[in-house]
Structures are given as structure tokens and as C-alpha cells.
Amino acid sequence: MTSEAASDYFDAFTDAPFMIMAFPANERLCKEAPAAVHVDGTARVQLVHADVLPRYHRLLTAFERRTGVPVLLNTSFNVKGEPIVCTTRDALRTFWSTGLEVLAVGNFLVRKPGLDPA
């Protein structure tokens, strides 16, 4: 989530530039981004600062403009039995061999053929 939004979703937190700390989620986060909240009521977040990760911050801000929520959920990029994707080549191989429909890598957006261009 954007660093600016942290106080909207947590009553107590500290800066978390990496996803290594969890904080108790407040009711708003549970309502607006329930998939990001663990069963124990905490969320492990990365607070994204515009001056540190400008592209990612712009993505979160654009998502907020569309949805009202400056939070995106991420997960490990791999399939069962495979190591986590580490390179663009790994990402493309996984993309083409799975049911994924769109892949964003750097400045590129790759769509599988036949998808409705939304």
C-alpha cells in the first residue's frame, strides 16, 4: 500500500519498506482488502514511498483512483513444484505455461492472444 495510506488501515504501525513486518489490521482494511488480512487479524505489508519506488507508487495511486483502495495483494510468482520466478525469462516461461492472462514486466504488458482488450 502507499505509505500515505498506512494510518487509514492500521492503528499502530511503523515504516515497513519491505514485507517483513505484520501489524494488526483495523476494521477498514478488513472491509476494503480482506484478502490481505491474515486469519489472526494482521497484515504483512510493504509501505511504498513515492520517492523510493515511484513506478510502484504510481500503480497503487492509479489503482486507488479506480477503486478507492490504495492496496494491492501480491503473492509468490511460481507454480507448484517450481522455484519462485527470479528473471524475466522465468516470468515469461511461467506465464505461457499457465492460465495467466496478462503479465506486467517493467515497461511491458504481455497479453495472451484472444483476450478482450480491456
| 28 half-sphere exposure, CB direction, 13 A CA radius | 11
Q: Which runs of consecutive H residues, i.e. helices, occur in the chain? A: 6-9, 27-32, 54-67, 88-96
At 7 the pLDDT is 97
**Residues 6 or more apart whose Cβ sits within 8 Å of residue 85:** 77, 78, 91, 94
**pTM for the whole thing?**
0.76
Q: Per DSSP, which regions of the chain are E strands?
A: 22-24, 42-44, 102-105, 108-111
Q: What are phi and psi of 4, to 5 degrees?
A: -65, -25
Rg (alpha carbons) of the chain, rounded to whole number: 16
- What is the chain's pLDDT, residue by residue, as a tens digit (118 residues)? 999 999 999 999 999 999 899 999 999 999 999 999 999 999 999 999 999 999 999 999 999 999 999 999 987 888 999 999 999 999 999 999 999 998 988 889 899 998 776 6
